[in-house]
Chain A
């Protein structure tokens, strides 16, 4: 296999691997491919409070079901002095706090963070068999209620065409304050919710229904009481309905806590139990969300990613990960443009220094150090020193220049110049040495060309590295480095002309005589 073919195959493999991993991370693990994507994270806290009366306490709170349109990022439970476990009763997850004895007012907390996923429908079919439990109005005292309900059902039946319209009509009749039957029934259900009444009425018409409890996710709400919606089994599926307006479907931002007839909270060994909710919204970058999500699922890929490093090392890596892009820039400039630089990858190091110092400050400091260093180097050259000693001397001089710049600028309150420490000293010293030789050997012009070339490439690399997208991709998708590697390998095959050669040989036709 020829070397050329090998390069193509290798590049293709690397590119496919890199792009594949990237696609996997952005689609499956939810890493945002573009920078600046934010998700709203709702932190919901349920607080169960009650008065304990000195007996063994058992508190059981219904936990929210998994929903298609929201994902749970993390959940936590707290209750000092309480034992805790989770159990599932009739398909409903419940948190159970227990304690041998407790006295006075108690508070237990359940906290969860959720966010909306955009890829699923808001409504999820509930896999719950419809069952009807008719209310008992048979006793003599409930004669009025029985007649009122029969009349109401008859009216609704009259005004409707099918099950769905029947339910809505019933709801409308109950909400009509002028309807005497509704008034009677509402009076009878004093202390219970309207949804309970609706459930019973629908049961009389052989329609299965149950209340749905949930909360509206709105920013900075405290002491929220759970809202009740009605879910009725209509034409073979469960339909949600607002008990006051009759609007079908789940209202926007409604976070369903519990479906079906089971209780929200059961407390034994206590009284005056109450559940209240508070909601806080946070805008968090989608990456963090993906990360936390990933942590919960412990994806192997994330385990080996940069995110497994401590935060401090991560920021170091942020810089290192930009080096490949800088190197790519150098290759582009040298192979396609033909720009001469002093030292092959010196511009990358220079660009890294610029990242820390900001561009203008960096360029000024670089030129300043270079100019002063060249001046001093030209004196040193007269002292008849060994090369290594001379470079060491230049290094020391560079350090002194840097220290001077720092101190003087600090006194002058130019804080930016303090970033001079980020310049790689040894590189600067070598650059000074090489430039001074170049100056003597090839003249000032060649030296200036190379300095300008290095600066140009460094500045180009700087802009590349500070680009939001490049920064985002290089840090969040380090596997894209494989693609860069593939590109570099391919560029290494380029045997065409350089831009500089198109200029250099532009008069070739005139020399052909």
Chain B
């Protein structure tokens, strides 16, 4: 194994780099004016609801220290909820309360928080501690997702969420992010969560990668990733594809969770989705992005295709040819 790979080899595999992503895709297809819609999770929620896209229910929110008391009153009777910074990034500042232990709030990790801890956390969020650029932020409390038991064994202490890259409305690449003990129950790949590449055509797993190396089984639950197949796959692709119309962003990362009660839900949207998805898929994303660009340039009708048509097209062209054997 070489210490590093030659850049032309990366180019041959169609790997998209950070600079290329920023200049050729984000700067070109993501209009600045659309950013607030995805950076502000409250706005995302509103826009998605309006478009008939399922999202976790909003329970309470506040954007001023005066509102903290009201917020505390609203969460007092709740057994479980998720508290988030409205403009947070990378899952920072999110608290998942699983149950109550008298006055105490029990987190998914099993640690407890007092009401004062929560107040302090809320005030930190409001001061902009977790927001981009440290700007003053707002807090929202939403319903906790009960993730589907079919995926239960693939995640430890946290919700496994599905990331789908949607390029100009076409779902081009997907991966499942599974929390591990070492990632602290968060589905953040930098912290040791597992990324599982998902075949666009079938929803079956491709590779499971933890901290850059391939693994076969979940280190905590021992489940074999090769058996993984995402349920409700078509619905998820459809949901992701529709986010293009909602946001108007050409290069978009959709985070989807599968809820036991409501089915697939959009958890959040990301205007600057990461690049690790390529590793979990074992292939570069560039050929697919170029494919879509060429299609839209040559076939003007394709620009007006609905979400369903786009999903069909993506499944046909971006699936793995040997997916049948892999499953």
Contact = CB atoms under 8 A, between A and B. Distances in A.
A304 interface: no
Given A505-B5, A508-B279, A384 B19 contact: no
A351 to B, nearest CB: 23
Contacts of B3: 503, 506
B212 A507 contact: yes
Contacts of B9: 509
A443 B184 CA distance: 10
Interface stretch (A227-235, A361-369, A491-499): A491-499
A503 B19 contact: no
A497 B9 CA distance: 11
Contacts of B13: 508-509, 512
B28 to A, nearest CB: 9
Nearest to B279: A511
Contacts of B282: 508, 511-513
Interface stretch (B34-42, B124-132, B164-172, B304-312): B124-132
Nearest to B128: A387
Contacts of B19: 335, 494-498
Contacts of B119: 384
Contacts of B120: 384
Chain A contact surface mostly: loop
Nearest to B322: A513
A124 interface: no
Interface string B15-36: 1011110111000000000000
Given A493-B23, A508-B278, A511-B209, A502 B124 contact: no
Interface residues of B, number: 44
A501 B17 contact: yes
B89 to A, nearest CB: 11
Contact of A495 (B23, B124, B213, B283): B23
A499 B6 CA distance: 10
A301 B262 CA distance: 72
Contacts of A509: 5, 9, 13
Contacts of B191: 442-443
A504 interface: yes
A478 interface: no
A123 interface: no
Interface string A383-419: 0101110000000000000000000000000000000
A446 interface: yes
A210 B207 CA distance: 100
A369 to B, nearest CB: 21
Contacts of A496: 7, 17, 19-20
Contacts of B124: 387
B10 A501 contact: yes
B214 interface: yes
A358 B283 CA distance: 48
Given A501-B15, A506-B3, 7 more contacts: A437-B129, A495-B22, A497-B7, A497-B17, A502-B7, A504-B212, A513-B207
A-B interface, 7 closest residue pairs, ranked by CB to CB distance from nearest: A387-B127, A511-B282, A502-B4, A497-B17, A495-B20, A506-B5, A495-B23
14 contacts: A387-B127, A387-B129, A446-B190, A495-B20, A495-B23, A496-B17, A497-B15, A502-B5, A502-B6, A502-B7, A506-B3, A509-B9, A510-B214, A511-B280
